[in-house]
Structure 1
Amino acid sequence: MAKHSGNVEMNDAVFVYSEDQLGYKFSDSHPFNQKRLVLTVDLLKEMNALSDDRIIPVRTATDEELLLAHDERYINIVKKAGLGEVTPEVGENYGIGTEDTPMFDHMHEAAARLVGGTLTAVDEVMQGRALHALNLGGGLHHGFRGKASGFCIYNDSTVAIKYMQQKYGARVLYMDTDAHHGDGVQWSFYDDPSVCTVSIHETGRYLFPGTGSITERGSDKGYGTSFNLPIDAFTEDDSFLETYRTAFREIASFFKPDVILTQNGADAHYLDPLTHLYGTMDIYREIPKVAHEIAHEFCGGKWIAVGGGGYDIWRVVPRAWSLLWMEMSGQPLPFGKLPQSWLDRWQPDSPVPLIPTWEDPQDLYKPIPRKPEIEEKNQQMLEKALYMIRNA
């Protein structure tokens, strides 16, 4: 579990979590529901896969740290909004008070804690106390410099990358497998050659935020360090994973990062209510496995992971994120039945029948008649992306 490096005891992986991360809450009916953190932590503990000595408490990001990625005026508006001092008309100019990102009490403090969790994970890895660190409360990849977007008030990954650049002089590879394009992070580093952003996502033809074309490749000195892999709606596991595995390895080999930061949205699953992809739990076994291998192969194991989207909080997110932690911490991935105690505890609260196994049911969805066409389109897109990588 732990290794010694000089006089420093190093963990293979640490889990950054505090219950105060649950304060990031828009409303009881909002699709972004942090109860998924409670469900995941409880499932891991029932599996004896997460011990208290692996949990690192969250800290709150300072204003100075938030200023690495956000305007001072915007931060002040968020603070005032959390105190009820901003009108809806003013808030909308900053992306808050909208249907996606409503205002709520003490929203600045809640959002700053999610950022602080990711910075805690960064310091654990970059200061050599852990090879890998996970903050499932992070991954809010749509936030912009002066505006909230898509449930994201502050962009923890952008702050974390700027922090790694400033404090550690790191060359960062950001890999985003959320079904939605990682737009806020991409645009923050679009002209920066020391950061490589990669996003594999459902094409924006029918899905927020509508960006993430394969032609978005960076600008000025950063041209050739932004990569987008937009896959077709209804894409299934095999096509998703071929795109992900092939591109991730090629890009890591090309970019040669000092550290990898992965965003692990769990919304590419068939059951997710906000997207149109046809993934199963099989992709959530493979996504972290590939990241784990590439981190060890290209940057000495330095791997920081955050959460992200995932809106079926009962049947999908706890299983997917548990598999991420178990891979990250070097534990055998489970098969078969989930702990009965966990199922019994949470089924009364769940509005849908829980899936009782780590695997999805064989008849999760009916066969897709357009499968060959979808796979061919994704393959053509991947070949274009590989050509761009090899000629960057």
Structure 2
Amino acid sequence: MSDRVGLVRCPDARIYDHGPGHPLRPDRVLLTWDLVHAYGLDEQANVATLDCAPADDPTLELIHTPAFIDATRRAGHGEQGDWARFGYGPGDNPIFDRMHEAGALVAGASVAAARAVWTKGSDHAFNAAGGLHHAMPDRASGFCVYNDPAIAIAWLLANGCERIAYVDVDVHHGDGVQFAFWNEARVLTISLHQFGSWFFPGTGSAGERGGPDAPGSAINVPLPAFTSDEAWLEAFRAVVPPAVTAFAPDVLVTQLGCDTHHSDPLAQLLLTTAAYRATAAELHRLAHAAAGGHWVATGGGGYQWARVVPRAWTLYFAEMCDADLPDELPEPWIEEAERRLRAEVPATLSEPALGPGEGDGAARAVVRSLEEVLAS
């Protein structure tokens, strides 16, 4: 096992909590860490647990405005104000206690992963609590307070990294990261996502290709609802490896949202854990082939918080560690997950194949069109 792998475990990760009934549950991260531990991955000789601290204001200001940071801090401490103009209020981003501290902790964890990889303490590093890719410089969005992937990328640029490729496989377009680096030729952003005028965030068309100083620096693969494993993986393989290889980044940064799963309550793609296993292997190969092995990974979306998210992210982390896992989940972990969920969870990492999806034909047409654009 030649790859040195860092696992970031945030203290107080539970404080990133939008409250009862909100779909983004902190238990999904805690159960992921528990499953990683139950399989013994964090005790492998090539794995180190990475310490992290909350990002300070200058680090947050690599992406976010001082006014937004101040508003987030004050709102989370119970002060009254016009917080709606900063994206806070009923719905996706309710105000919650200590939300500045919670968001800064997640951002600090992703910076810790980036620092470990960039300073050669680790070849790969994973922050399961991260991947909050919707936050904009001056407002919260889509359950995201601070945009930790963008902050980690900006930190890398500020510390001498010259080229970074960002690959986002969340079901929702990585709009906040794309916006942050729209006009930055040193950063390539690639997002594969469900797309439609009614589907959040409503951006990510194939025509979004980067700003005037960075044409071609954004690549979007907009996929229709009901795209299955096979068509999704065809799209990934057609676009991501050639684009990242041609860009030749110093570091590969990935957002590993698993709300693409067929059972996710907030989306309509039809992926299974087989797709996550295959994607993990593709990204691992790509990190070594195109980025010198330098791979910073974050979590992301995923709202089947007990049944899917821990299994998906453990599959990704096992790939980073070069570990082969038994398909059967450890029984003590199953018992704890079912206690929290108050319902049954799957007993294995693998799942039955679903077969073709209604959106597969349209997905392949999107990819053919996109291949023509990228080749021109």
What's the TM-score bracket when you normalise by the shorter of the two chains? over 0.9
CA–CA distance in structure 1, aligned partners of residues 263 and 172 of structure 2: 15
For the 8 Å contact 2:196–2:224, the answer to whether it is kept is no
User: Paired residue for 2:252, among 260, 263, 279?
Assistant: 260
User: Paired residue for 2:191, among 199, 219, 223?
Assistant: 199
**Aligned-pair CA distance for 1:76:** 0.5
Tell me whether 1:167 sits opposite 2:151 in the alignment. Answer: no
CA–CA distance in structure 2, aligned partners of residues 167 and 345 of structure 1: 41
* Offset from partner CA, 1:348-375 (integer Å, 9 cap, x none): 322432111111245xx6x66x63xx22
CA–CA distance in structure 2, aligned partners of residues 296 and 321 of structure 1: 20
Is there any run of 5+ residues in structure 2 with no aligned partner, and where?
A: none
User: Paired residue for 1:379, among 355, 364, 374?
Assistant: 364
Match of 1:360 in 2: 351
For the 8 Å contact 1:327–1:333, the answer to whether it is kept is no
Match of 1:85 in 2: 79
Q: Matched residues, percent identical? A: 36
For the 8 Å contact 2:167–2:191, the answer to whether it is kept is yes
Tell me whether 1:287 sits opposite 2:283 in the alignment. Answer: no
- More displaced 10-residue stretch of structure 1: 295-304 or 37-46: 37-46
User: Paired residue for 2:222, among 230, 234, 240?
Assistant: 230
Match of 2:105 in 1: 113
**Aligned-pair CA distance for 1:51:** 2.1
For the 8 Å contact 1:92–1:98, the answer to whether it is kept is no
CA–CA distance in structure 1, aligned partners of residues 343 and 167 of structure 2: 32
How do residues 63-212 of structure 1 correspond to structure 2 at under 5 angstroms?
63-87=57-81, 90-212=82-204
**Aligned-pair CA distance for 1:316:** 0.3
For the 8 Å contact 2:190–2:218, the answer to whether it is kept is yes
CA–CA distance in structure 1, aligned partners of residues 320 and 234 of structure 2: 21
* Offset from partner CA, 1:282-327 (integer Å, 9 cap, x none): 1110111111101100111000000010000111001000001100
**Aligned-pair CA distance for 1:18:** 2.2
SS at match of 2:339: coil
Tell me whether 1:17 sits opposite 2:9 in the alignment. Answer: yes
Is there any run of 5+ residues in structure 1 with no aligned partner, and where?
A: 4-10
Tell me whether 1:322 sits opposite 2:314 in the alignment. Answer: yes
* Offset from partner CA, 1:134-170 (integer Å, 9 cap, x none): 0011100000010100000110111111111111233
CA–CA distance in structure 1, aligned partners of residues 14 and 283 of structure 2: 27
Normalised TM-score (structure 2): 0.96
Match of 1:338 in 2: 329
Match of 1:347 in 2: 338
**Aligned-pair CA distance for 1:346:** 2.4
For the 8 Å contact 2:226–2:360, the answer to whether it is kept is no
SS at match of 1:298: helix
Question: Alignment length, in residue pairs?
Answer: 374
Tell me whether 1:34 sits opposite 2:29 in the alignment. Answer: no
For the 8 Å contact 1:133–1:304, the answer to whether it is kept is yes
* Offset from partner CA, 1:87-124 (integer Å, 9 cap, x none): 3xx11110012310111111111100000000000010
For the 8 Å contact 1:44–1:322, the answer to whether it is kept is yes
**Aligned-pair CA distance for 1:333:** 4.1
**Aligned-pair CA distance for 1:388:** 2.3
SS at match of 2:42: coil
Match of 2:54 in 1: 60
The 3 A distance-change label for structure 1 pair 234 and 351 is farther
SS at match of 1:348: helix
CA–CA distance in structure 1, aligned partners of residues 151 and 213 of structure 2: 21
CA–CA distance in structure 2, aligned partners of residues 167 and 354 of structure 1: 43
SS at match of 1:246: helix
* Offset from partner CA, 1:18-61 (integer Å, 9 cap, x none): 23122111102110111111111111211112229621122110
* Offset from partner CA, 1:174-196 (integer Å, 9 cap, x none): 00000000000001111111110
